[in-house]
Chain A
Amino acid sequence: MGPRRLELTLDHCVSYPASNSTKLCVSGVNKTFRRDGKSVHVLEDIDLTVREGEFVCILGPSGCGKSTLLNIVGGFTTATSGRVEIDGEPVRGPDPRRIFVFQERGVFPWLTVEGNISFGLFKLPKHERERRVSHYVHMVGLKGFEQSYPHELSGGMKQRLEVARALAVNPDMLFLDEPFGALDSITRLLMRGELLRIWQAERKTILFVTHDIDESVQLADRVVVMSARPATIRTIIDIDIPHPRELSSRRYLELRDGLLDEIGLAHKV
């Protein structure tokens, strides 16, 4: 017990010295909410390092606090204790260099597809703005819908629109909070393929929160498995299958079953 405690008090960002490739470092993060006079402990001693260009999935049951972790990393809330550093600098608030993608409800309903994609480009000259908009309209397959409003689009189109809006400002990190949760399973599968394609083309560092085991094995370089509240990191699993991944390969099934075990689910329905 003694040595373990000692290890916990060590600063994660120091004990794993930041190499050039370290993008994000979370060290000893705790989060406690006050709700109705009671304090709720949501996150407990979270240590995590993410490398530049890595795709990391945070997997856990609904309501475990994984979104809270993402919100802290994104700068929308502050941790009760602990440190969060990106590129060696502490996170002080939201930053256009790292864009948060909500479920498709985050697109602005009062703007057209074009208006949404160019939302963050207000500092650019007009021709550059137009170039980027048309580039990303093309990339996410919304050609012909530039003048449409979100309520005229399907759920999958709205989700791609939100990803395009994030990519257009050329961030170096993307935070995605269960982005495909509201989509049907066929669209969800297609969207995963699209996201991987974009990630491989643009090499962003991606932090992706999900409660879907298959999704995490299909997408991530590493899967961070979290426990129920107060959330701790149970384990981190490397997904050592090259893309494109064969969903019926032995290794894929092995890793998936391993995660099922880790979360404590039986392999039968």
Chain B
Amino acid sequence: MKPWERIALPVAAGAVIVAIWIAAVHVSGTTVFPLPQRVLAGTQELAGKGVLGSYVRDSLMRVGAGYLLALVAGIPLGIALGWYPLAARSFNPLIQMLRPISPLAWIPISIVLFGVGDEAAVFLIFLASFFPIVTQTMNGVKEVPEMFRLAGLNFGLSAAQLFRRVLFPAALPQIVMGLRIALGIAWLVVVAAEMIAVDSGLGYLIIDARNAGKRYDLVVAGMLMIGLIGLALDTAIRRLETLRALRWGFRHE
């Protein structure tokens, strides 16, 4: 593939998608679903009112708070579960049972515990990112090759040294992968979190734009913003994987 194709092909595909979109709107004769240009105008309108920036900021703040809490609680717990097999056997069944419960199913509980507002939203994001971080960290520590552990012991390391100098660095790529998965999920859940009567954020924007006057141009604008920011977050956290000390743990093409 030639270098110019790497740019030209997505641009062409984008043009085709937009064309199909426009054609579909015209053919179906819908008056509700917006044309691309209306979505663009809607985005500009939001930006002009200054709402767009503050919504993006609020969503990012909520995700950041919930995610950081999950990170602070999840990594130590995951390490402990990976390190002590008995702890894993005791707590892992519970964790694996809680994991498939949608963060949405927690909405009633989080409202009881935290009331309506930011805290409940942060709690939901915390829950959503906590489980992948714990599971991935646990597996990372558990799957450190026996050989590394033996080599560490051979050089006379104490248990604490063995952990700090062998197990943690050996598990780090897996932990970072867990952080990446969790960030993706946290961002997915922000919409659910912001459906609990908060009055700002991109998730709120989508629900509000529909309920208050069927402004589907703003609905689609909100969705696109979520998609673009999600992509940016993923790209940013992927950069961690290319750090020299971590690169060995990821297979790159």
Give the residues in chain A near B169, CB-CB below 8 Å: 108, 110-111
- Contact present for B154 and A109 (CB under 8 Å): no
- Contact present for B154 and A151 (CB under 8 Å): no
Residue of A nearest to B146 (CB): A76
Give the residue of B150, B155, B249 whose beta carbon is less than 8 angstroms from that of A76: B150
- Contact present for A96 and B148 (CB under 8 Å): no
Give the residues in chain A near B249, CB-CB below 8 Å: 109-110
Asked if A231 is an interface residue, CB under 8 A from chain B, the answer is no
- In angstroms, Cα B154 to Cα A102, docked, is 12
- Contact present for A102 and B151 (CB under 8 Å): yes
> With A105-B147, A109-B248 given, is the CB distance from A74 to B161 under 8 Å?
no
**Chain A contact residues: over half helix, strand or loop, or mixed?**
loop
Give the residue of A74, A102, A150 whose beta carbon is less than 8 angstroms from that of B248: A150
Give the residues in chain A near B247, CB-CB below 8 Å: 149, 151
How large, as a class, is the contact surface on chain B? 20 to 34
Residue of B nearest to A76 (CB): B150
**Chain B contact residues: over half helix, strand or loop, or mixed?**
helix
- Contact present for A96 and B172 (CB under 8 Å): no
Contacts of B226-251 to chain A: CB distance below 8 A: 244-249
- Contact present for B245 and A106 (CB under 8 Å): no
How large, as a class, is the contact surface on chain A? 20 to 34
- Contact present for A149 and B244 (CB under 8 Å): yes
Asked if B170 is an interface residue, CB under 8 A from chain A, the answer is yes
Asked if A199 is an interface residue, CB under 8 A from chain B, the answer is no
The smallest C-beta distance from B147 to any residue of chain A, in angstroms, reads 5
Residue of A nearest to B151 (CB): A106
The smallest C-beta distance from A33 to any residue of chain B, in angstroms, reads 15
- Contact present for B154 and A108 (CB under 8 Å): no
Residue of B nearest to A168 (CB): B155
- In angstroms, Cα B139 to Cα A141, docked, is 37
| B-contact 0/1 string along A108-136, CB 8 Å cutoff | 11110000000110100000000000000
Asked if B29 is an interface residue, CB under 8 A from chain A, the answer is no
Give the residues in chain A near B245, CB-CB below 8 Å: 110, 149
- Contact present for B151 and A149 (CB under 8 Å): no
> With A110-B245, A110-B246, A149-B248 given, is the CB distance from A100 to B172 under 8 Å?
no
The smallest C-beta distance from A233 to any residue of chain B, in angstroms, reads 25
- In angstroms, Cα B148 to Cα A111, docked, is 12
| A-contact 0/1 string along B135-151, CB 8 Å cutoff | 00000000001011011
- Contact present for A119 and B248 (CB under 8 Å): no
Give the residues in chain A near B244, CB-CB below 8 Å: 149
- Contact present for B155 and A120 (CB under 8 Å): yes
- Since A110-B245, A111-B169 are in contact, a sample of 10 more A-B pairs with Cβ atoms closer than 8 Å, ordered by chain A residue number, is A94-B156, A102-B151, A106-B151, A108-B166, A110-B169, A119-B155, A120-B156, A149-B247, A149-B248, A151-B247
A–B pairs, 10, beta carbons within 8 Å = A93-B153, A94-B150, A100-B154, A105-B147, A108-B148, A110-B170, A110-B248, A119-B165, A120-B155, A122-B161
Enumerate chain A interface residues (CB-CB to B < 8 A): 74, 76, 93-96, 98-100, 102, 105-106, 108-111, 119-120, 122, 149-151, 169
* A-B pairs with lowest CB-CB distance, top 3: A120-B155, A109-B248, A96-B156
